[in-house]
């Protein structure tokens, strides 16, 4: 390992140790000796390293982040999937930040180039590459829309993850930085973009496959694959299982109804956002009803279906949606916990849950759904994605 990386690791880890022991900021700053980064930045990196463990596991002890770099860094499961799909001999990551996605690209490519406008993050990306032993990575500090930078990039595949304006209520294509349209016109080769997952479909100004990524049953990313990278118009991928639904999969008309059958299925919102419900039904051969399209999309069926895009619950009791009635039924069912699965504000959640659980002394956990004026008391019937 490069001596400068060893020095930086030593100083960040020293700051981490002092933070965990409760030392004041001034004392920690006084103990930092390296001049590779300013002392304030070393302290920030140490704080981020502590928080990064939940996201990056053991690798957090090797990686360098600042606040923004950690906040927007790609989760490892997504980064590895994306690197596998974009596997190329050479790849350029435009706007690479601190380089987390770039590290995963480098594991699959002979040559990787990261371009980052922010000098501090470009430097962190370089140190991250060295810390992980990625000798095939080059970091260029500069603006990806600068023609002189573009001329330096000779890569088979281009990946670009534009920055978003944090204050925007509704994401717009033209306010992404750099603007994907400008990147698309400036760079040659196969190009993929990371877009805000909640951006409206109508806002996307470039043709290509829109791939919605679910991580642990939650919409996490949206990729746009252009040109020959596109395999269809729209798709959804569930991670870590890698189950995939495409718009050209068999379609089946969704049947809406009110009948509650033996099982309730909660649908991953990624499928809803991708507008692939009919394809999910067709691929699974689903027989049943769509019974709710409010905050949670719920299906009901007598059949058992296995999909990472569905959570299955066995219906135990249906009653009027009244807290007192639900509580009485829960006591009959030997309940210990009652977990609301209907729309509640954060301020209401524990008040409502505590009222549902009042006096419960049993051993079983139940999930409470609401469909109209009915409460559906159910138990989880599977590990996600298993029959």
- pLDDT band at 295; cut points 50, 70, 90: confident
Same domain, 338 and 221: no
Same domain, 19 and 134: no
Same domain, 359 and 278: yes
Residue 258 lies in a domain: no
Same domain, 87 and 8: no
Residue 242 lies in a domain: no
Question: What domain range is 33 assigned to?
Answer: 3-62
Same domain, 212 and 315: no
Same domain, 208 and 91: yes
Tell me: pLDDT of 18 over 60: yes
CB 177 within 8 A of CB 144: no
pLDDT in tens, 121-138: 999 999 999 999 999 999
Same domain, 156 and 285: no
Same domain, 268 and 208: no
Positive or negative torsion for Cα 47, 50, 56, 59:
positive
Same domain, 207 and 314: no
Q: Is 363 exposed, middle or buried (0-12, 13-18, 19+ CB in 10 A)?
A: exposed
The last residue of one of the domains, among 20, 44, 62, is 62
| pTM reported for the whole predicted model | 0.91
Same domain, 227 and 99: yes
Number of structural domains found in the chain: 3
Same domain, 190 and 293: no
Tell me: pLDDT of 318 over 60: yes
Residue 339 lies in a domain: yes
pLDDT at 314: 97
Torsion of CA 92, 97, 99, 102, to 10 degrees: -30
Q: For the domain that residue 190 is a member of, what is the CATH number?
A: 3.40.50.150
pLDDT in tens, 149-181: 999 998 999 999 998 766 666 777 878 889 999
Q: Can the peptide bond before residue 321 be classed as cis, meaning omega within 30 degrees of 0? A: no
Mean pLDDT, rounded, of the chain: 92
Same domain, 52 and 76: no
Distance CA 64, CA 124 (A): 6
Residue 324 lies in a domain: yes
The last residue of one of the domains, among 231, 253, 288, is 231
Residue 101 lies in a domain: yes
Residue 238 lies in a domain: no
């Amino acid at each position: 390992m490069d001596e400068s990386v060893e020095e930086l690791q030593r100083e960040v880890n020293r700051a981490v140790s002092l933070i965990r022991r409760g030392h004041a900021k001034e004392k920690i700053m006084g103990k930092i000796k390296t001049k590779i980064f300013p002392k304030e930045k070393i302290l920030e990196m140490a704080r981020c390293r502590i928080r990064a463990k939940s996201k990056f596991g053991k690798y957090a002890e090797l990686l360098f982040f600042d606040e923004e770099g950690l906040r927007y860094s790609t989760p490892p499961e997504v980064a590895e999937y994306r690197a596998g799909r974009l596997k190329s001999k050479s790849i350029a990551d435009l706007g690479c930040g601190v380089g987390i996605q770039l590290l995963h690209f480098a594991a699959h490519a002979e040559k990787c180039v990261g371009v980052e406008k922010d000098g501090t993050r470009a430097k962190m990306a370089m140190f991250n590459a060295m810390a992980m032993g990625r000798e095939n990575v080059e970091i260029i500090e500069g603006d990806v829309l600068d023609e002189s930078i573009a001329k330096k990039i000779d890569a088979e595949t281009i990946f670009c993850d534009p920055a978003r304006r944090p204050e925007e209520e509704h994401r717009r294509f033209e306010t992404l930085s750099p603007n994907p349209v400008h990147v698309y016109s400036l760079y040659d080769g196969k190009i993929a973009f990371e877009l805000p997952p909640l951006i409206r479909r109508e806002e996307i100004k470039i043709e290509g496959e829109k791939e919605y990524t679910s991580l642990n049953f939650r919409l996490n990313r949206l990729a746009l694959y252009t040109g020959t990278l596109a395999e269809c118009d729209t798709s959804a991928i569930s991670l870590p299982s890698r189950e995939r639904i495409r718009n050209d999969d068999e379609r089946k008309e969704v049947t809406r109804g009110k009948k509650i059958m033996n099982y309730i299925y909660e649908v991953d919102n990624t499928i809803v956002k991708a507008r692939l419900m009919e394809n999910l039904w067709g691929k699974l051969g689903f027989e049943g009803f769509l019974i709710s399209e409010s905050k949670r999309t719920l299906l009901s069926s007598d059949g058992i279906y296995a999909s990472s895009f569905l959570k299955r619950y066995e219906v135990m009791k249906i009653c009027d949606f009244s807290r007192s009635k639900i509580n009485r039924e829960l006591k009959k069912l030997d309940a210990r916990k009652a977990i609301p699965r209907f729309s509640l504000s954060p301020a209401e959640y524990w008040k409502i849950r505590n009222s549902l659980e009042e006096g419960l002394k049993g051993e079983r956990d139940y999930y409470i759904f609401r469909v109209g004026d009915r409460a559906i008391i159910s138990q989880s019937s599977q590990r996600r994605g298993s029959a």
